[in-house]
Structure 1
Amino acid sequence: GSGGIEFDEFLPMIAREFGKKEDVDQHVRETFRSFDANGDGVISAREFRQAVAKMGQNLTDAEVSEFMRSVDKDGDGVITYEEFAKYVVCNL
């Protein structure tokens, strides 16, 4: 649609990266680590934008903000592994 990535398009991109469903946990961990560029154990909005850009998608600030709000359940401005894993698994 909009030229940006829609959330219903983002999850299939992640799912394609996973391959077999039985390997989801391992792939969620690997994907989280690849998104966590500085290795601090959380994904910032900047890291999320950069990781998705490497997948060939450029997001608007509004799209990044919307994703962060939908995944960052405790509202601390970053996505923890637990938040990321829950979001991905619940939306596959």
Structure 2
Amino acid sequence: MADPKAVFEKYDVNQDGTMCSKELEAALKDMEISASPEFLKEIMAQYDKDKNGSLEFHEFKKVIADMKAIQVATVADVRDLFKSFDKDGSGYIEKAELREVLTVLGVGNDEHTVQAMIAAADTNNDGRVSIIEFSRIIGHGDE
């Protein structure tokens, strides 16, 4: 993955020292990370700590660090992570389970955030996330 500073400078098109969601989308695409509109909103909501509607370099650098961590995760790591979310062992991550994990992590767990995260992963629109859908989001295909 490219140097975060170089990517930030390349995609901060208006050179204002911040990255809006359109610039972020282009930067992620260049790094071969596809992001749905819902996922982009979620990234902005989670990483824009000062809530000014854009990412400064230190916020963008955190996005890149987290994306790198996801990319190096093994298939076994993904399965273990899925199991930690799937509290009832049903084979699906339900909204309540996701909310519980987000609470423990100290991440936004309001209805909008939970719904956006489910929507980003839930390709068959059944309102929950299967291991296959989860693997696609994390980057390990149909594992």
- Tell me the TM-score normalized by structure 2: 0.49
- Aligned 8 A contact 2:121 2:137 in 1: yes
Match of 1:42 in 2: 92
Q: Residue deviations 1:20-75, cap 9 Å, x none? A: 92x52111100000000000110001101111211122321011111111100000
Match of 1:77 in 2: 127
Match of 1:60 in 2: 110
Gaps of 5+ in 1: 1-5
Give the aligned length: 80
Q: CA deviation at 1:7?
A: 3.4
- Rounded to whole Å, the distance in 2 between the matches of 1:41 and 1:82 is 10
- Rounded to whole Å, the distance in 2 between the matches of 1:7 and 1:62 is 10
- Rounded to whole Å, the distance in 1 between the matches of 2:42 and 2:136 is 15
After TM superposition, the runs of 4+ consecutive aligned structure 1 residues lying more than 6 A away are none
Q: Which has the larger radius of gyration?
A: 2
Residue 123 of structure 2 aligns to a residue whose secondary structure is coil
Q: CA-atom RMSD, angstroms?
A: 2.5
Match of 1:3 in 2: none
- Tell me the TM-score normalized by structure 1: 0.73
- Rounded to whole Å, the distance in 2 between the matches of 1:65 and 1:38 is 19
Residue 138 of structure 2 aligns to a residue whose secondary structure is helix
1:89 paired to 2:139: yes
